[in-house]
Amino acid sequence: MRGRLAASFAGIASSVRRFLARRKSSRARRRSGHRIEPYIDRLISDAIQFNETPSPTPGEKQRQAFIARRLAESGFSDLQDDGAGNLSLRFPATEASSKGILLFASVENEDYSPLDSLVRLSSERAIGRGMAGSSLGVAALLVLAEYLQASGTTFQRDLTLLFTCLKGAGVAGCALERFLDRRTEEWSAAFQLTGTSLGAVASDPMGTCRLAISVRTRDREVLAGGGADSAVSLLSGIAHQLGGIRWDAADNTFLNVARLEAGAGYGQFASEGRLELEIFARDTARLETSRDAVLATTRKIAEKTGASIRIDTAGVLPAGDAELRRPLVEALRRVHARLGIRSRQVSGPDPAALLNARGIPALSLGLTTGARGYLEEHVDLAPLEAGFQQVLLLLEAVA
Amino acid sequence: MSWKPAVLSNTFHHGRYGDPRRLLELKEARGATVSLAFPTLNEADTIGKEILVLKAELMERFPLVDEIAVIDSGSTDDTRTIAARFGARVFGSRDILKPYGTFRGKGENLWKSLFVLQGDIIVWIDADISNIGPKFVYGLLGPLLERPEIGYVKAFYERPLRSTSGLTPSGGGRVTEILVRPLFSLFYPELAGLVQPLSGEYAGRRRLLERLPFSVGYGVEVGHLIDIYHQHGIESLAQVDLDRRVHRNQPVEALSRMSFGILNTFLSRLERYGEAHLLRKLAAEHIALAARKGRYSVQPTAVPMNERPPMVEIPEYAARFPRPVPAAAASVGASAAPTPAAEAPPGT
């Protein structure tokens, strides 16, 4: 009996030590026993319904209406609309704190199609155009709000959930940039939630610049021979010349031909075409230098042929700031290890770098695995629970 | 002409019922229970999404629905596995009321679902809807929860068709416009006020549904409408606009067989209610023609035309859902079986 009592006291003491250790490392208060599993079905359901909501619409009003209705149904009456393309919901801190935490997701889907964005569900996957992009991120924010409310979870820092748009980033200014411009509060950390890439850790993401080159060559008579170049030959010549350039010895900069659209028929004229380029660079200065080089080369080629040319910058994402991101990267790796998620280093562009450029530590988080492609886009269902838990654990670590 | 069908006074838009908390209060005030069932045959592409979305929205977030079930006709794809994976109770149609045998057809699944479902209100949704959303259920439930005199609610919608060229903005309801509406106009002008009498989404009170005979095949919807019209009056019917339903297109050959089944049920009802008299027995097979290398051949197809009696006449059902015996039972069709009927049906 005495032995059993001693063992019991030892067990209790050990539990208390573990509990205190956890409380020390985690500043979040979460009611124990609140299960996550039921929220995963809601997350998939919201992602499906959101994915099937048309986009783009003027001001993304249809998608914003879905978000507002869902949050109102969940009992949130203080959703803020800044009139600049942003809806935000704030969970006040338990204690006065100077800096808040920002979780954001982009609501638009530039690839939306009324037919292809209708989602099909197998036992393992949700299949539909857009599911691997923004839809899961928005759904995760909606369900997170419900979960925090139902579980009574609170944080020492203000937490803001932001539904925003990234279209026009770095050029005309996207909704996210307008949100950051207008708000006066400081942010201690920010995370973008997105569909796939669970486990991907971008500790030092490249910057990117997307260029759209439209050309119109001189009128030509195809059968006459010796006429002007077609838009096809001009644009493929530009793509070939730019693609052959070695930008630097260490491969810190490279160029990708994203799209070439030209040719006669299907509403196109042989004299018109469009080329979309993506430039990637390890730092923002290199990105700007490379962009200037591409513009100059393109103009020079076009001038030789007498074609008229227009070059638009479709979007710019700065390179990430590795130093700013380091604490978040380390926290994310710890969370991955705890949840058994395999971490892998990636270096592609990250919209969260827009916040890095303003001195805010920020990362993007994938919620599951999957694939994005023209023929099929899908997300895997099984990893979603770990993906959602990852968000909760990161919040516990930083908020 | 100023006459308008009475059912147009019972015509609503789903938006009227878009507040789930209000519906939940109505449901609790009425003490009602609600069952949602999908009749299926090879619907693996769409059934998972329908169950997941409706369960998450209407069982977990707002518990308007108490159970979700699939009644399957023997799918050879993954319909049953997927349905179970997303939380539905899955029944094989042939396993329900085994002593009564089994027929192939949607009506058979609906009839048998009455035996396994528990709710006072039954909602049936087709399993081939690509753009499923909670409105498909709360739109149908709303009038039943709000107005006790309504016993049966049908959906209608704009029906863009899925085809190889994308979505065709309209064009659904060909059988309705070419066959059913002219027949209703001739014999039951009041029922011609239904926008889509053949829509596959409808809901009703158990105490009304259990007294209806069920055509096992394509005629089930038309049979219901005519029987309800005769038994309970047009006032017990309502219809709800669900805006838009995307589904796969049916080939003309399938629509021809569907029309055959519907016409058969329609004629049998005319005779039953003494509104027409058939002088000879109707043929049992639909006849199509096939042309190959300049030669034509006949392709007969047996279209299910059997009819199940009102479920209250099945003793096993009576034992499972015992009701006090009323003074005068009102059920369509003669039956020697005792009728353990419930309280007076709606609309009477």
Q: What is the pLDDT of residue A9?
A: 42
Determine the longest span between alpha carbons in chain B, in angstroms: 67
* pLDDT-derived band at B161, boundaries 50, 70, 90: low
Residue B326 lies in a domain: no
What average pLDDT score do residues A282-301 get?
A: 88
CB spacing of A42 vs B60 below 8 angstroms: yes
CA A123 to chain B, closest CA, distance in angstroms equals 5
Q: Is the pLDDT of residue A17 over 50?
A: no
The predicted-structure confidence for B87-101, as pLDDT tens digits, reads as follows 999 999 999 999 999
CB spacing of A118 vs B130 below 8 angstroms: yes
Q: Is the pLDDT of residue A59 over 80?
A: yes
From the list A38, A73, A123, which residue is nearest B85 (CB)?
A123
How wide is the angle at C-alpha A236 spanned by C-alphas A232 and A240, nearest 5°? 170
Distance, in Å, from the CA atom of B332 to the CA atom of B347, rounded to the nearest integer, reads 15
Cα A358 to Cα A26, A190, B94: the distances in Å are 27, 12, 66
Q: Is the pLDDT of residue A336 over 90?
A: yes
Q: What is the pLDDT of residue B162?
A: 57
Q: What is the pLDDT of residue A229?
A: 75
- Token pair 């573990």 is found at A18
* pLDDT-derived band at B227, boundaries 50, 70, 90: very high
CB spacing of B162 vs A114 below 8 angstroms: no
Q: Is the pLDDT of residue A373 over 80?
A: no
The predicted-structure confidence for B112-129, as pLDDT tens digits, reads as follows 999 999 999 999 999 988
Q: What is the pLDDT of residue A173?
A: 87
Q: What is the pLDDT of residue B344?
A: 40
* pLDDT-derived band at A227, boundaries 50, 70, 90: low
Encoding tokens for residue A36? 């996550």
Domain that holds residue B227: 6-320
* pLDDT-derived band at A171, boundaries 50, 70, 90: confident
Residue B80 lies in a domain: yes
Q: For helices A231-243 and A284-305, what crossing angle results, to 10°?
A: 140
* pLDDT-derived band at B160, boundaries 50, 70, 90: low
Q: What is the pLDDT of residue A6?
A: 44
ipTM over 0.85: no
Q: Are A134 and A194 in contact (CB under 8 A)?
A: yes
From the list A45, A49, A115, which residue is nearest B162 (CB)?
A115
What average pLDDT score do residues B205-214 get?
A: 97
| Closest residue in A to B86 (Cα–Cα) | A123
CB spacing of A121 vs B57 below 8 angstroms: no
Residue B292 lies in a domain: yes
* pLDDT-derived band at B284, boundaries 50, 70, 90: confident
Q: What is the pLDDT of residue B326?
A: 57
Please name which of A171, A170, A211, A206 lies closest in space to residue A294, comparing C-alpha atoms: A211
* pLDDT-derived band at A304, boundaries 50, 70, 90: confident
Domains of chain A: 32-204+320-398 (3.40.630.10), 213-317 (3.30.70.360)
Residue B165 lies in a domain: yes
Distance, in Å, from the CA atom of A135 to the CA atom of A370, rounded to the nearest integer, reads 13
CATH of the domain at B153: 3.90.550.10
CB half-sphere exposure, B113, CA atoms < 13 A: 34
- The H or E element spanning position A374 is none
**Averaged pLDDT score across all residues of chain A:** 87
* Test the A interface: residue of B49, B68, B86, B245 with most A CBs within 10 Å: B49
The predicted-structure confidence for B40-50, as pLDDT tens digits, reads as follows 999 999 999 99
What average pLDDT score do residues A100-122 get?
A: 92
Q: Residue A233: what residue type?
A: S
Residue B64 lies in a domain: yes
Residue B338 lies in a domain: no
Q: What is the pLDDT of residue B336?
A: 34
Encoding tokens for residue B1? 């002409």
Q: How many domains does chain B have?
A: 1
| Residues from chain A contacting residue B80 (CB–CB below 8 Å) | none
Q: Is A42 on the interface with B (CB under 8 A)?
A: yes
Return the minimum-mean-pLDDT range out of A283-292, B163-172, B195-204, B320-329: B163-172
- Interchain CB contacts (distance < 8 Å): A and B: 56
Residues of chain A numbered 295-354 and touching chain B (CB < 8 Å) = none
From the list B48, B53, B55, which residue is nearest A49 (CB)?
B53
Distance, in Å, from the CA atom of A112 to the CA atom of B145, rounded to the nearest integer, reads 37
Cα A15 to Cα A19, A78, B55, B89: the distances in Å are 6, 40, 38, 41
* pLDDT-derived band at A360, boundaries 50, 70, 90: very high
Residue B325 lies in a domain: no
Distance, in Å, from the CA atom of B241 to the CA atom of B15, rounded to the nearest integer, reads 9
Cα B304 to Cα A140, A329, B216, B286: the distances in Å are 47, 64, 7, 10
Return the minimum-mean-pLDDT range out of A69-73, B100-104, B254-258, B320-324: B320-324
Q: What is the pLDDT of residue B116?
A: 98
Q: What is the pLDDT of residue A33?
A: 62
Q: What is the pLDDT of residue B181?
A: 93
The predicted-structure confidence for B14-35, as pLDDT tens digits, reads as follows 999 999 999 999 999 999 999 9
Q: What is the pLDDT of residue B28?
A: 97
Q: Is A41 on the interface with B (CB under 8 A)?
A: yes
The predicted-structure confidence for B243-275, as pLDDT tens digits, reads as follows 888 766 778 888 999 999 999 999 999 999 999
3-state SS, B255-303, equals HHHHHHHHHHHHHHHHHHCCCCCCCCCCCCEEEEEEEECCEEEEEEEEC
CA B341 to chain A, closest CA, distance in angstroms equals 39
The predicted-structure confidence for A172-200, as pLDDT tens digits, reads as follows 889 999 999 998 889 999 999 999 999 99
Q: Is the pLDDT of residue A107 over 80?
A: yes
Question: What pairing do the DSSP bridges indicate for beta strands B152-158 and B202-205?
Answer: antiparallel
Residue B288 lies in a domain: yes
Q: What is the pLDDT of residue B164?
A: 58
CB spacing of A122 vs B82 below 8 angstroms: yes
* pLDDT-derived band at A28, boundaries 50, 70, 90: low
- The H or E element spanning position B141 is helix B135-146
| Residues from chain A contacting residue B48 (CB–CB below 8 Å) | 120-123
**Averaged pLDDT score across all residues of chain B:** 88
